[in-house]
Structure 1
Amino acid sequence: MDEERWSLLEKRIAALEAARADTAAVTDHEAFWALRGVKERSDGRSVLLWTGAVDLPGGERYEWQEAADAASVLDADPTVAVAALSALAHPVRLGLLLKVLQGRRTVTELGEGLGTSGQLYHHLRQLTEAGWLDAVGRGTYAVPGARVVPLLTLLATAGLR
């Protein structure tokens, strides 16, 4: 191998080693405090954790922490989650949920920029039946408190950031 190729190879190896060292440093860094806590409490099991402290524009504050055993999730009947996930699989319904979280909760506010009222009520019904929305008053909707952090976590992991 000629001198130039050796030099290039050495540089690539050095870059890979530096990248690996950076990753190791980040893994040990304070950024993974929640992960360390999960590992310390998991008794060697594979555990999933989602948590958050959320202040919404309407003044509500939600604090939530939930964990699940990964093996249970992998062994579960997938049809159980279909209704909840299907309700989220439409851009209008996701938009409605985000509007509600941002403080727009009445049918009038939610229907702005949407087609017919029939379409609006169809989407609201889908979200309510799947547990993502509650009718909290005449023509007023809210995301149930126990769903706020899990919903935002799901949206963030799906790339909505």
Structure 2
Amino acid sequence: MDPTSEPLEHRVSALEERLQELITSITPPSPAAQSKPAARPDIFWALDGLRDRVDGSGAVLYTGTVDLPTGEHFDWQYGATVDDLFADDWSEWAATLSALGHPVRLLLLRRVLAGVRTAAELSADEALGTTGQLYHHLRQLVNAGWLRSAARGQYAVPGDRVVPLLVVLSGAKG
């Protein structure tokens, strides 16, 4: 049976199962192995495991474990097949990506991740602009899903957005 003739939800479910198998079957290098020079053969241990489990044109997997200065901890992973990504309408993601395209919004996200959570605390930071500008940027980030209003006047980066945000920033860093 041609895998692309299966409903999308079955294909995604199968991919998630394969990716979970990958994550549980691959053990990261020991701390001693991590101190080896960059030319070590196990540097692509996750990539090699993904290649062994993916058919077709490939897949993208990103995962992270993050401890924030606030004491919050996030473990997160996401995977998608290349075929599914190319089948999606990328223009639907423009607003989400555009919200990150302003230096003040990036600084705002950094401050919130560091624990500055209330509008009052954020407005005290002159680098974030006037109160009106601050609320404009907060609204843009909330509408794009990068921030949520946890309570009146308090903001947080949703847990399922912490690792993706850091992945986007890592990609932008190059």
Q: TM-score range by the shorter chain?
A: 0.7 to 0.9
Render the CA deviation track for 1:25-66: whole Å, top value 9, x for unaligned. 94x711111101211221344100110000000000000111
**2:98 aligns with one of 76, 86, 92:** 86
In 2, Cα distance between the equivalents of 1:51 and 1:41? Answer: 16
Match status 1:116 vs 2:138: no
Match of 2:84 in 1: 72
Shift, 1:115, TM fit: 2.2
Q: Quick one: distance in 2 between partners of 1:128 and 1:146?
A: 14
Moved >3 Å (runs of 4+): none
Percent identity, please.
54
For 1:121-150, what per-residue CA distance to the aligned partner results, in whole angstroms no more than 9, with x for missing partners? Answer: 000000000000000012110000000001
2:134 pairs with 1:128: no
**Are 1:154 and 2:168 an aligned pair?**
yes
Cα shift at 1:88: 0.5
Aligned partner of 1:101 in structure 2 is 113
In the alignment, structure 1 residue 57 sits paired with structure 2 residue 69: yes
Separation of aligned partners in 2, 1:30 and 1:57: 31
After TM superposition, give the deviation of residue 109 of structure 1 in Å.
2.2
Unaligned stretches of 5+ in structure 1?
Answer: 1-24
TM-score by length of 2: 0.73
Unmatched segments (≥5 aa) in structure 2 = 1-37
* Worse-superposed segment, 144-153 or 99-108: 99-108
- Whole-angstrom distance in 2 between the partners of 1:41 and 1:144: 30
The Cα of 1:103 is off from its aligned counterpart by 1.1
Give the RMSD, CA atoms, in angstroms.
Answer: 1.7
- What is the number of equivalent residue pairs in this alignment? 135
Name the residue aligned to 1:39. 51
The structure with the larger Rg is: 1
State the shift of 1:75 in Å: 2.8
Q: Distance in 1 between matches of 2:41 and 2:144?
A: 39
Aligned to 2:156: 142
- Larger mean Cα displacement after TM superposition, 64-73 or 106-115: 106-115
